[in-house]
Amino acid sequence: MEPTTPYSFECTLPLPIMQARKKVVEALQTEKFGVISEINIAEKLKEKLGMEHSPHIILGACNPQLAHEALTDNPDVALVLPCNVVLREVDGQTLVSAMRPSVALQPFKGLKVQESSCKAEEALSRVFDALASERSCH
């Protein structure tokens, strides 16, 4: 999939957030990304501020091999790991987005860093291609 913006991939799935989450995790796993963290923004805002917020989740996705390669070359890469995949429910559909690794890692020096960012971006592109087959991704 071609990036949707200069900095991200985006896709809208015709599913509520928890059903979309399952599809996203499956697509990530196919490309050897594991979900190593999860933040439910709506729950946290309710808990910390007593505020209602539409369903909104951040999945911290990591391909261990690619992360290791980049970190070995430049430990500062940890500043932008893991890759955040954001799910936000609007009107019963879920907008899924992720920053392009080439954009996130662009400031970091190191040949392996840049190679890893290209590999990660190709893999995330395939994740969004798989989601696009679900319908309505752009």
Structure tokens at 114: 């840049």
SS3 per-residue string spanning the chain: CCCCCCCEEEEEECCCHHHHHHHHHHHHHHCCCEEEEEEEHHHHHHHHHCCCCCCEEEEEEECHHHHHHHHHHCHHHHHHCCEEEEEEEECCEEEEEEECHHHHCCCCCCHHHHHHHHHHHHHHHHHHHHHHCCCCEC
Q: How far apart are alpha carbons 115 and 123 in whole angstroms?
A: 12
Structure tokens at 22: 């399952």
- Domain with 19, as residue range(s), is 8-132
Q: What is the pLDDT of residues 45-92, one digit of tens each?
A: 999 999 999 999 999 999 999 999 999 999 999 999 999 999 999 999
CATH for 26: 3.30.310.70
Residue 2 lies in a domain: no
**How many separate domains does the chain show?**
1
Residue 3 lies in a domain: no
Q: How far apart are alpha carbons 83 and 67 in whole angstroms?
A: 10
Q: What is the pLDDT of residues 59-70, one digit of tens each?
A: 999 999 999 999
Q: The whole model's pTM is what? A: 0.91
